[in-house]
């Protein structure tokens, strides 16, 4: 049985200083690409961890990726799920090979910071 629409809540990671890496990433996109990303985020909101490949995949432990492609350009939005919250950490343009370990580590740092501030450690 599938999850009901909007079963998960999408949140954007915001650093203590107010920076929001995912907002900055989306703001730099051309409108057509941003519209496609927003559609994929809606799918993530509906399905959470049940969103299958090719839309999403697990990277390392709790860190996952939303996989969007525009022609030859591969966009990845990293995120994790805590209860019914999907927290989008940041986005990258993936050139070749797997998502770089430094980007996964960045998502883990953001996750740790968010969890600590939520009192969810």
State how far the Cα of 7 lies from the Cα of 24, in Å rounded to an integer. Answer: 26
In sequence order, the 6+-apart residues with CB closer than 8 A to the CB of 67 are 53, 54, 55, 56, 57, 74, 75, 76
Distance (Å) of CA 51 to CA 14, 37, 117: 24, 15, 27
pTM: 0.91
71-91: pLDDT as tens digits: 888 999 999 999 999 999 999
Reply yes or no: is the peptide bond before residue 54 cis, omega within 30 of 0: yes
Model pLDDT, residue 97: 85
Q: Give the residue from 12, 37, 38 showing the smallest Cα distance to 110.
A: 12
Model pLDDT, residue 78: 98
Model pLDDT, residue 13: 98
Residues of the chain with pLDDT under 70: 1-6, 120-121
Locate 96 and state its tokens: 């070749």
**Domains of the chain, with CATH numbers?**
9-118 (3.30.2310.20)
């Amino acid at each position: 049985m599938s999850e009901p629409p909007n079963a998960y809540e999408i949140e954007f990671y915001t650093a203590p200083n107010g920076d929001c890496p995912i907002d900055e990433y989306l703001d730099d996109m051309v409108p057509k690409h941003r519209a496609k990303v927003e559609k994929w985020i809606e799918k993530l909101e509906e399905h959470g961890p049940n969103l299958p490949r090719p839309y999403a995949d697990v990277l390392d432990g709790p860190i996952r990726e939303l996989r969007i492609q525009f022609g030859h350009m591969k966009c990845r939005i990293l995120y994790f799920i805590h209860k019914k919250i999907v927290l989008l950490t940041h986005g990258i343009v993936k050139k070749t090979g797997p998502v770089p370990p430094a980007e996964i580590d960045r998502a883990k740092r953001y996750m740790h910071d968010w969890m600590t501030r939520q009192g969810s450690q």
